[in-house]
């Protein structure tokens, strides 16, 4: 069995951050979102992985993720020259997939459930397709499924104005080789894309075996800032264990589950977990509160933050109101004059410089 991870797209919902980088590489708990999917796939015993990349961010994805050796996998990169839909991504990957069954995983999604039980169900029932579903409050924003009591999928609708159910398609799919002929028989949708929902609907119409499983754990689509911050909070809650490889002076206080990387120095700081702080950071006279991730080589002086994600190489200096619910891009500079605004809330792209006066 093979895997196909989709890591293209323009990431418009995370701009300005994604003007200069791939949305799938934005870190959650200081690890790229994309890597969680790779690790979950490898844990399910699938090590032959194709990653679909775009011309804009593909080289960055390749440079950061590599050939798969770090994950115990073999990665093949597949260039999708235009964002023409999920089914189009499968179509251009057929040379890699061949006749193998495969899992398709959207690279900006995170799920709590292990993949192994779904792989086993797909194989044991010899299905043509297995989709994962999760009940949502706003089904008009998703592909939606109608399922019978036996778990057979009866109908799929992409972003319906009047949803036939509240069961949204999660960004994880399992397919047999029959999906290729289904894709070959569909036409682009009104938005000019080959929709994977149309291809699955074609399988249903030709009486192929298409079933669904409902997730009992969380599912996060990290395409927006608040979703990414929520994902960061959940991962920190579940995965962070106390580990301090840095240097802290006797005036600093570390409370709860906090990870600090090597080469990082804390001077007169208070850190309350769950928090992860990367390597070679400098923190001085600051407070880092719960559900914050601070990447490598970050400087924070005379500032307070919580429930925020700070990317590599950023500097936050002399910010006196507490920073909350904030995503700061790589190498950004955030500083202020002695005058103090009452409140601040930011989404800051890479290489930005902001001075509050």
Overall size of the chain counted in residues? 357
- Which of 69-73, 248-252, 340-344 is least confident? 340-344
To the nearest 10 degrees (0 to 180), the angle between helices 225-239 and 33-43 is 50
The CATH number of 240-356 is: 2.160.10.10
pTM: predicted TM-score of the whole model, two decimal places: 0.88
Reply yes or no on whether the pLDDT at 229 is more than 60.
yes
| Residue extent(s) of CATH 2.160.10.10 domains in the chain | 240-356
12 pLDDT more than 60: no
305 has a pLDDT exceeding 90: yes
Residues of the chain within CATH 3.90.550.10 domain(s) are 2-235
Q: Which pLDDT value is given to residue 225?
A: 77
The Cα–Cα gap between 326 and 185 comes to 45
The reported pLDDT for the residue numbered 11 is: 46
Q: Which residue has the higher pLDDT, 338 or 276?
A: 276
Q: What element of type H or E holds 243?
A: strand 243-244
Among 236, 235, 255, which residue's Cα sits nearest to residue 244?
A: 255
Given pLDDT bands bounded at 50, 70 and 90, which one contains residue 61?
Answer: very high
Computed over every residue of the chain, the mean pLDDT equals 89
Interval 256-301: pLDDT, tens: 999 999 999 999 999 999 999 999 999 999 999 999 999 999 999 9
Residue 250: partners with Cβ closer than 8 Å, 6 or more residues away: none
Q: Say how many C-beta atoms besides its own lie within 10 A of residue 188's C-beta.
A: 14
- Assigned architecture for domain 2-235: Alpha-Beta Complex (3.90)
Question: How would residue 72 be classed by pLDDT, with cut points 50, 70 and 90?
Answer: very high
Question: Please, which residues have CB within 8 angstroms of residue 156's CB and are 6 or more apart in sequence?
Answer: 143, 144, 145, 146, 169, 197, 200, 201, 204
Q: Which of 169-173, 223-227, 276-280, 353-357 has the lowest mean pLDDT?
A: 353-357
User: Is the distance from CB of 252 to CB of 351 less than 8 angstroms?
Assistant: no
- Give the residue-averaged pLDDT of 209-226: 84
pLDDT band at 217 (very low <50, low <70, confident <90, very high): confident
The pLDDT of residue 335 is above 90: no
The predicted structure's pLDDT at residue 110: 87
């Amino acid at each position: 069995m093979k895997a196909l991870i989709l890591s293209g797209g323009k990431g418009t919902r995370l701009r300005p951050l994604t003007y200069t980088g791939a949305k799938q590489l934005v870190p959650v708990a200081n690890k790229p979102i994309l890597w969680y999917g790779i690790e979950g796939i490898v844990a399910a015993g699938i090590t032959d992985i194709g990653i679909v990349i775009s011309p804009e961010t593909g080289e960055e994805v390749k440079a950061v993720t590599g050939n798969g050796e770090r994950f115990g996998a073999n990665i093949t990169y597949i260039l999708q020259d235009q964002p023409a839909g999920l089914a189009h991504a499968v179509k251009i990957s057929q040379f890699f997939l061949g006749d193998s069954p495969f899992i398709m995983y959207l690279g900006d999604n995170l799920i709590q459930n292990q993949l192994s039980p779904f792989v086993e169900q797909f194989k044991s029932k010899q299905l043509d397709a297995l989709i994962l579903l999760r009940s949502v409050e706003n089904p008009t924003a998703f592909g939606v499924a109608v399922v019978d009591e036996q778990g057979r999928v009866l109908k799929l609708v992409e972003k319906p104005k009047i949803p036939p159910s509240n069961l949204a398609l999660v960004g994880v799919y399992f397919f047999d080789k029959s999906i290729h002929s289904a894709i070959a028989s569909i036409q682009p949708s009104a938005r000019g894309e080959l929709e994977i929902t149309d291809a699955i609907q074609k399988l249903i119409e030709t009486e192929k075996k298409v079933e669904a499983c409902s997730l009992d754990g969380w599912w996060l689509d990290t395409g927006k800032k608040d979703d990414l911050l929520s994902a960061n909070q959940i991962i920190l809650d579940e995965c962070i264990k106390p580990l301090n490889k840095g240097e802290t002076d006797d005036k600093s206080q570390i409370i709860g589950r906090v990870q600090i990387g090597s080469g990082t120095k804390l001077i007169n700081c208070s850190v309350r977990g769950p928090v992860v702080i990367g390597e070679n950071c400098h923190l001085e006279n600051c407070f880092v509160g719960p559900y914050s991730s601070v990447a490598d080589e970050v400087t924070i002086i005379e500032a307070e933050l919580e429930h925020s994600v700070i990317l590599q190489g950023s500097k936050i200096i002399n910010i006196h109101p507490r920073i909350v619910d904030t995503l700061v891009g790589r190498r950004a500079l955030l500083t202020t004059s002695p005058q103090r605004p009452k409140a601040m809330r930011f989404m800051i792209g890479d290489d930005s410089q902001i001075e509050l006066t």
